[in-house]
Amino acid sequence: MRENETKPAVAGFAADKAAELEAIRALLRERRGLDFRVCRRSMVERRVLGRAALARASDLGQYLARLRRDESEIEALIGHLTIKVSRFCRDAYVFAKLAELVLPERARCRRGAALSLWSAGCGWGEEAYSLALLLRRAGLAGSVLGTDVHEGALAVARAGLYRPAALAELPAEQVAEYFALQAGRHGPSYLLEPAVRELVRFQAHDLTAAGPPGRDFDLVLCRNVLIYFDLPTQQRVESLLAASLAPGGFLCLGEAEWLGEPPLSAFAVADRQARLFRKAS
């Protein structure tokens, strides 16, 4: 599956510059502590070449020199490498299952105690806030942790301000109830109400470099993140996600993703279409 991929636009832009690509990856590790060796190589190459073309570099050597002297270009490249395509309640079927099956079951297990939900790889926050909306609409106590490797994305997430396209899958009555329309120079945007924003805490976290940011979660969403990692990294991250859940807790992956074996053996499939797995109690 590909999301919003950009093809290099500069004619004659050589794609086989392995040494420069490795030097760019090393620079991102040194300057930002981000290791893109865990991502699928073809994806990294395509995205670096795409960004270099947008930055009007004539070749990868020139682009590397630019990155060495220009922090803002490093930030732009990280933004380009960490693909953020998302929407509120992305995939209505999945969110219906979370509302009908997962939250009621976990609320019963917790006997009224607050639920703890995690959106891993939350990008600009749409998914984390969608979980907060589910809690709010179900009248359940709980909180949501939204994490992402890209700190710049989390700053945007904390603001809770979205363009209309981000709300395209949300029923109109929920948009009217929870968002305030704001006119801006670049068109309208929607501000999520503080009472929903306050249910969510955002924190920088690299799924490939650290342990889980918490334990005993009732529900973890890690959708459309694993697809960018190589196989050994996918397996490590899946084990981390499994370890972060409470017994009987739920894991939800993206529509093009499925668990490897293990940790699939530690789960029962709760809903195949929704990529929803229940951890053994």
Ligand X SMILES: C[S@@+](CC[C@H](N)C(=O)[O-])C[C@H]1O[C@@H](n2cnc3c(N)ncnc32)[C@H](O)[C@@H]1O
Decide whether 17 or 86 has the Cβ nearer to ligand X: 86
| Burial of 6 (C-beta count, 10 Å sphere; 0-12/13-18/19+) | middle
Decide whether 61 or 171 has the Cβ nearer to ligand X: 171
Among 51, 80, 86, 246, binds ligand X (CB under 6 A): 86
131 contacts 219 by C-beta, under 8 angstroms:
yes
Window 63-82: residues binding ligand X (CB under 6 A): 82
Among 162-170, 189-197, 211-219, 221-229, which window interacts with ligand X (CB under 6 A)? 221-229
90 binds ligand X (CB under 6 A): yes
121 binds ligand X (CB under 6 A): yes
244 binds ligand X (CB under 6 A): no
Provide the token pair at 193: 């109400």
153 binds ligand X (CB under 6 A): yes
Among 49, 89, 225, 259, binds ligand X (CB under 6 A): 225
Among 9, 19, 65, 85, binds ligand X (CB under 6 A): 85
H-run or E-run covering 30: helix 18-32
Neighbours of 46 (CB within 10 A): 17
> Rounded CA gap, 265 and 20, in Å?
41
Per-residue x/- marks for ligand X, 12-51, CB under 6 A?
----------------------------------------
State the minimum distance, in angstroms, from the CB of residue 271 to ligand X. Answer: 17
218 binds ligand X (CB under 6 A): no
Decide whether 109 or 152 has the Cβ nearer to ligand X: 152
Q: What's the half-sphere exposure (Cβ side, CA atoms, 13 Å) at 224? A: 16
The number of residues that bind ligand X (CB under 6 A) is 23
State the minimum distance, in angstroms, from the CB of residue 14 to ligand X. Answer: 27
Provide the token pair at 238: 């899946």
> Rounded CA gap, 25 and 4, in Å?
21
259 contacts 238 by C-beta, under 8 angstroms:
yes
Which amino acid does the sequence have at 181? L
State the minimum distance, in angstroms, from the CB of residue 61 to ligand X. Answer: 27
* Beta bridge partners of residue 145, listed in sequence order: 118, 201
| Burial of 71 (C-beta count, 10 Å sphere; 0-12/13-18/19+) | exposed
212 binds ligand X (CB under 6 A): no
Provide the token pair at 118: 């995690």
> Rounded CA gap, 132 and 142, in Å?
8
Cα angle for residues 132, 138, 142 (degrees, 5° grid): 45
Decide whether 53 or 81 has the Cβ nearer to ligand X: 81
223 binds ligand X (CB under 6 A): yes
Interface residues toward ligand X, by CB under 6 A:
3, 82-86, 90, 121-123, 127, 148-150, 153, 206-208, 223-225, 228, 254
